Structure 1
Amino acid sequence: MNQYILVLDCGATTLRAVAVGMKGEILAISSLPNVPRLQSGCEDCLVWDLDEIWNKFLQIIPKVRSQIDGKVAAVTVTTFGADGTTIKKDGTLTYPVISWQCSRTTGWAKKIASFISPREIFRITGYQIIPFNTIIKLLWMRENVPEALDEADTYMMMPGLLSFKLCGEMSFDYPSASTTMMIDIRTKKWSERLLSLVGLDETFFPPFLPSGGVIGQVTTKVSTETGIPVGTPVIAAGHDTQFALIGSMADQSEMVLSSGTWEIAAIRIPEYRDSEKAFETGIMTEFDAVDGLWNPQMLMMAGGVVEWVRRNFFADMKDRSDIYSLMIDNAREIEPGSGGVIMIPSFMPSGPNKPYETKGTILGLGLTTDRSQVYRAALEGLSFQLKQAVKAFYETFGFEPTAVRVVGGGSKNHLWNQIRADVLGLPVITTSCEEGTVLGAALFAMVGSGIARSLEEAKKMIEISTRVWEPSENWPHYQKLYEEYEKLPLFLASHYRNKI
């Protein structure tokens, strides 16, 4: 009987159960929507309803299993970072899971700097202050609902909470831990200094488990509800970013770009060192899923900008199923440089232009400017932003990528891939596997369940193809355009800092 890995992928908009074969092929997928809920009694507060999420998984897991013949070799969970909550030993939550989309923690994101400087936080954790960081939520809870912390036995992140539903065992994976802003990025131990701000110590948390470690086994109750055999191993995975890196099948010399609504440009390095430049440019560092490696990364708005252009400039085509193909085809007819239109895609306060407090900006509009020029300018601006990230990685870590491997929804846009290659002067690689995060989690589950003896052996079992976009004859022109683009954030800084 054929074996497969069952990956539970909890996304911010979609919950998916995915069956992955031993060659990396996607055998079956079933999904349901996922949205945060307004919390009763807390105005504009958003939480994840863990029971609702779990009940949806109980619906889609049997649907996946019914589509294929075979045995579930292992189950694993991957999801977003930063979110988790306090819990009792019996699995009872003492407070809902505060969503990363919730605004209640904005005040504490500013206030934490009065206790410890942002630079010192970065030195300890490798992380920038963002309102949705785990420690910010815990500070809010300590101030507003201290009983939730006092009555709890422990705290788990979303991967641990969902794995607990499967097997009844508590866990904390390293990749998720590095999104908490409470862990020492060098030692892989909890920071006493940061935990003390919340009145906690390391004994409050479950023991760490490396990705690929066995958390427990599927319980009789879950087996009855899903059909997964009792005793099936539940394997630790964790934060989705790290598994997109693994599932991309990239060489360590490549930079990986996980491109969706947001883009995360990430590299894998064997040694971490603190850097003023990394702090200034907004780089954050997390633990790689492989022990002994670190993932410096830059978070940038990407597909969200493309969606903004579609919504505001192509509204008359919104009901067409081929709207994206038409946008791409029309933009392909525009010459590099978009007729003088330039877009700075800083629609959110993150990425390489954050130090300048730059906002989304369009320059060079005229009476004859058309929407295809604006769309191409958006793709070019996003590619310039990516080049800024590549430059920051070089200046900070001395890392020069040999290529950029793109995964996620943004990898499907062929025009964008070519513009990336031309702007970067580097090969851009995509793979035939559109489920990089899921594949990465499955690879670790193959190791944890004993199907493969190592990650390298598991990767050798995978059969996927790649496509390469080499820099074209437009590359020299884009280098000149980038030189002009690079000057703009500093030039516009006085305008945006004055809040005019």
Structure 2
Amino acid sequence: MAQNIVLVFDCGATNIRVIAIDDTGSIVAKSDTPNSTKSCSENSEWHIWSLEDILQRFETCCNNINEIISTYKVKGITVTTFGVDGALTNTEGELIYPIISWKCPRTQKIMDNIGKYLSPNELQLISGVGHFSFNTIYKLIWLKEHEPEKLTQAHAWLFISSLINYRLTGIMTTDRTMAGTSQLFDLKAEKFSHHILDKIGIPPTLFPPIVAAGEKIGTLLPEMARKLHLPNDIPIFSAGHDTQFALFGSGAQLNQPVLSSGTWEVLMVRTEQVDTTILPSYKGSTCELDAKTNLYNPGLQWLASGILEWIRSLFWKDLKKPEVYASMIEEALDVPPGCGGLNFDSNILTMNGGWLGASLNSTRGYFYRSVLEKLSLQLNDNLKTLEKIANFKATELVLVGGGSNNILWNQIKADMLNLPIKVPKQSEITVLGAACFAWYGLGLCETAELVRNRFNYTYLYYYPGSQQPCYSKIF
């Protein structure tokens, strides 16, 4: 009898992927292809997404793994994407205006002038979401101010995951976790805020019914089944914003903070409570809806690997990626903690600043390690802030993302926080998280957590003061 699998359609800003996962969390097939924005015909500096290109890339990925998965039974499909982006559509789901990308600069002025509609603090108190120019609210205001006739013609606003789900099923929905990124949602009430929508002049009828993660949306349409070379009537289950499924897929329990380390470091926690009244007091703060209902994901973010890439370009520009990173780490490993008094003094969020205490003994390894230490101090401060916002006390930190491959930085973080740092050995945590909810929707287990417990999680631990990390199996 054929083994059962689910397919996760992962639409990332850099890559489109289709990954097949069985009910033990094992990846049986995967394919990826590059994804990218396009320049807008109105302004070459504006960025848009082509829905047709995204769908074609999913088709390519499905075709690439078709021979492998043909020996399995595809029980369900789920879609996860980056947040905030979407488009106005007519009753047939056709785009009335292109998908404005989160990379597009056109919404910066809208955010800067949001006070003419309502105060930024009030906006965050209600929505929880921080002030980022790519938020959905600023796209809709831009359309209202610059393309008002498009808004008048629109039947619905579909987030990008829902645009894909509509093409798969012909049913318009709103993924709950995507709505939670929009800055249009009432965080505590878990519904679109009539107050916010009234202030900005956007009708609440624009948003289709909300579906929770693991909820069945519909079944795969025959036309799409033919294009994807998949059987008809495969159930499609809701997922949504990739951040929430990365948190769940990391294995994080409640009140266990997770740091996604990349160009930006994003520190979040899954919690039952959050004090939204203090969120506006902290720059870079935000709060989104967890993949599970009645839970929240407060967090903070700051520039991280972006600064390290600047260091690389200054001191290691003669070496190529990715080999250069091993060289940077090796040279910094010989530098003692404290870097001989060399200190990187900066505003991490704006990347202003420089070094204090340099000497003739300060090699490039010293400069690199001093930045790693500064960023780790920033993490320590932000973790204390997050503990206040969500009223918890961290006992360990889960670390994911590209930065988690830096063994020196991981150890510095453990030492600075005086907490164990654990790094999942599994690399596809976002996809694993989404797959948990697809299997839950299929009835494999009574909860998504029980599905996750079936998966074989292994972590690499970094302990304060330790010289060598060690592996430990958790589930």
* TM-score normalised by the chain length of structure 1: 0.89
8 Å contact kept, 1:82–1:180: yes
Report what 1:13 is aligned to. 14
CA separation of 1:360/1:160 partners in 2, compared to 1, >3 Å: closer, same or farther? Answer: farther
2:436: which partner in 1? 443
Deviation at 1:427, TM superposition (A): 0.5
Change (3 A) 1:148 1:445: same
Root-mean-square deviation (CA), in Å? 1.8
Secondary structure of the 2:28 match is strand
Q: What pairs with 1:2-401 in structure 2 (closer than 5 Å)?
A: 2-68=3-69, 69-276=71-278, 279-318=281-320, 321-343=322-344, 346=347, 348-349=349-350, 359=352, 361-401=354-394
Q: Secondary structure at the match of 1:443?
A: helix
Instruction: Rate the CA distance shift 1:199–1:399 in 2: closer, same or farther, 3 A.
Output: same
| Aligned partner letter, 1:428 | I
| One-letter code aligned to 1:146 | P
> What SS is found at the alignment partner of 2:191?
coil
Q: Which runs of 5+ in 2 are unaligned?
A: 468-475
Identify the residue that residue 472 of structure 2 maps to in structure 1: none
- How far does residue 258 in structure 1 lie from its aligned partner after superposition? 1.6
Query: How far does the alpha carbon of each residue in 1:290-325 deviate from its partner, in whole angstroms, 9 at most, with x for none?
Result: 011111011222222222222332111115x52222
- Corresponding letter in the other structure for 1:322: E
Aligned residues: 465
Q: Deviations over 1:26-82 (max 9, x none)?
A: 222211111111100224111111111111111111212323431222111111111
- Secondary structure in structure 2 of the residue aligned to 1:45: strand
Contact in 2 for aligned 1:305/1:345 (Cα 8 Å): no
What runs of 5+ residues in structure 1 fail to find an aligned partner?
A: 350-357, 475-500
Matching residue of 1:479: none
Residue aligning to 2:471: none
Bigger drift between 444-453 and 419-428 goes to 444-453
Q: What is the CA deviation profile of residues 133-173 of structure 1, one whole-angstrom value per residue up to 9, with x for unaligned ones?
A: 11111111111111221111000111111111211111111
The answer on whether the counterparts of 1:20 and 1:28 sit within 8 Å (CA) in structure 2 is yes
Question: Does the aligned pair in 2 maintain the 1:7–1:442 contact within 8 Å?
Answer: yes
Per-residue CA distance 1:82-114 (angstroms, 9 max, x = gap):
111101121210011111111111111111113
In structure 1, distance between residues paired with 2:175 and 2:54: 20
Which residue number in structure 2 is paired with residue 492 of structure 1? none
Q: How far apart in 2 are the matches of 1:344 and 1:372?
A: 17
Quickly say closer, same or farther: Cα 1:85–1:114, change in 2 above 3 A: same
Contact 1:278 1:396 in 2 (8 A): no
CA 1:226–1:99 in structure 2 vs 1: closer, same or farther (change >3 Å)?
same
- Percent of residue pairs identical: 36
CA–CA separation in structure 1 for the residues paired with 2:145 and 2:283: 31
Q: Equivalents in 2 of 1:345, 1:172: separation in Å? A: 41
Q: Distance in 2 between matches of 1:364 and 1:330?
A: 19
For the 8 Å contact 1:76–1:235, the answer to whether it is kept is yes
Residue number in structure 2 paired with 1:467? 460
Q: Residues 388-418 of structure 1, C-alpha deviation per residue, up to 9 Å, x if partnerless?
A: 1111012333221110001122222211111
Q: Deviations over 1:243-283 (max 9, x none)?
A: 01100112223111122222211111112332235533432
The aligned counterpart of 1:452 is: 445
Cα pair 2:298 2:389 within 8 Å, conserved: no
Residue identity opposite 1:451 in structure 2:
L
Residue type matched to 2:451 in 1? A
Q: Which amino acid aligns with 1:172?
A: T
Q: Give the superposition deviation at 1:348.
A: 4.2
Secondary structure of residue in 1 paired with 2:434: helix
Hey, what's the Cα distance between the residues in 2 that align with 1:329 and 1:341? 18
Equivalent-residue separation in structure 2 for 1:344 and 1:242 (angstroms): 33
1: CA distance, partners of 2:231 / 2:347: 48
Deviates more, 1:120-129 or 1:59-68: 59-68
Q: 1:142 to 1:360 in 2, by over 3 A?
A: farther
Counterpart of 1:47, as a letter, is I
* Alpha-carbon distance in structure 1 between the residues aligned to 2:448 and 2:193: 30
Check 1:3–1:303 CA distance in 2 against 1; reply closer, same or farther (3 A cut): farther
> Is the partner of 1:127 in helix, strand or coil?
coil
